[in-house]
Amino acid sequence: MEYSDKKTQLLIASDQYLNRLGIKTLLSVVGVESDLKETNNLEELIDLLKNGKDPDYLILSDRILSYPQKKCLENLRKQCPTCKLMVIGGETMCRCDCEKFISYSCDQKEMLEQFQNFFLEPKSLAINVESSILSEREIEVLKAIALGLANKEIADRLYISIHTVISHRKNITSKLGIKSISGLTVYALLNSLIHADEVK
């Protein structure tokens, strides 16, 4: 039921230009012809999805997703319920609600196969994933922990008592199941709560 005079609509969202360029080259290798749009940030992506018509395919890097990634993806899904979604991510990217997940570490052969499959396979049903459970305040505290602040410093920064900080910490560790500061730091990094160069 396709109109042969209507090209496939494809949208690429990745923060890195070299990545987008690689993806585009790969698309031409695979033989996908499309009306192609691209963006390097989440805001513009959301704008494009809101104001334009739904693309047929959306290829995005996990690095442009905001925290929490799962929630962010869910919201994107709502913006384009009919499109096929491919997420390219690092080893630690949570497997999420998308038709195709590809790791950045895939070699040429695998990457080619995955891309070919993506455009051949029928659209799958969305998988429901539960989203993040941290409250706003807990996220603030988590950020501060990951930045290397001590409880007292966090208390001063957020204008609360150190007891409250400790309470939040307890809730964070029990909710996430991550007990060590390093673990929390990595979590915060992976979820773009902080940037590596902010840490003291």
Which of 94, 166, 176, 190 binds a second copy (CB under 8 A)? It is 190
The pair of structure tokens assigned to 63 is: 């690095």
57 near 12, Cβ under 8 Å? no
Shortest CB 89 distance to a second copy, Å? 12
Q: CA quadruple 17, 19, 24, 25: dihedral positive or negative?
A: positive
Q: Which residue type, as a one-letter code, is found at position 168? A: H
The least distance separating DNA from the CB of residue 129, rounded to whole angstroms, comes to 18
| Of 58, 104, 102, nearest in space to 77 by CA | 58
Site for DNA in 93-122 (CB under 7 A): none
Stretch that binds DNA, among 57-65, 90-98, 99-107, 129-137 (CB under 7 A): 129-137
Give the strands of the sheet with 84-89, arranged side by side: 34-39, 8-13, 57-61, 84-89, 100-103
Q: Which listed range, 68-76, 79-87, 126-134, 174-182, lies at the site for a second copy (CB under 8 A)?
A: 174-182
State the residues that interact with DNA by CB under 7 A: 133, 135-138, 150-152, 158, 160-161, 163-164, 166-170, 173, 179, 181
